[in-house]
Amino acid sequence: RKEVEQDPGPFNVPEGVTVAFNCTYSNSASQSFFWYRQDCRKEPKLLMSVYSSGNEDGRFTAQLNRASQYISLLIRDSKLSDSATYLCVVNTNAGKSTFGDGTTLTVKP
């Protein structure tokens, strides 16, 4: 079983809808969690951190559920510019940083 499992996608959606991505992790000692965005042929860049209390940044909301060991990302009112691959990341207290395989989102007019 992979340490970090992510919705395989791809997601093809029209503009304006709400999209949700989920990610589960297996190591209960995991300490910090993030969502990254990766555009085609570019390096991944931080989208937002994920906390148990939730984290909202404009149209984006990230949530952590430690009991069920999953993290989520919600994108509201999706836009063409949201088209990218979204990666969840889980860090352990041993310093290891593991990425999910990524979910590709395509938003169409």
Partner 1 sequence: DVKVTQSSRYLVKRTGEKVFLECVQDMDHENMFWYRQDPGLGLRLIYFSYDVKMKEKGDIPEGYSVSREKKERFSLILESASTNQTSMYLCASSLFLNEAFFGQGTRLTVV
Q: In angstroms, what CA-CA distances link 22 with 8, 11, 59, 64?
A: 10, 12, 17, 10
Q: Cβ of residue 92: shortest distance to partner 1, in angstroms? A: 9
Complex with partner 1: residue 72 or 102, whichever CB lies closer: 102
Q: Which is nearer to partner 1, 69 or 91 (CB)?
A: 91
Chain residues binding partner 1 by CB under 8 A are 3, 6, 31-32, 34, 42-46, 49, 87, 89, 91, 93-102
> Cβ closer to partner 1: 102 or 107?
102
E-assigned strands of 1-109?
A: 4-6, 11-14, 19-25, 30-38, 45-50, 55-57, 60-65, 70-75, 84-92, 97-99, 103-108
DSSP 30: E
Q: Shortest approach of partner 1 to residue 2 CB, angstroms?
A: 9
Least distance (Å) between residue 3 CB and partner 1:
8
What's the min distance (Å) between Cβ of 80 and partner 1? 23
Contacts of 98 (CB under 8 A, 6+ apart): 3, 4, 25, 89, 90, 91, 92
Q: CB-wise, 43 or 58, nearer to partner 1?
A: 43
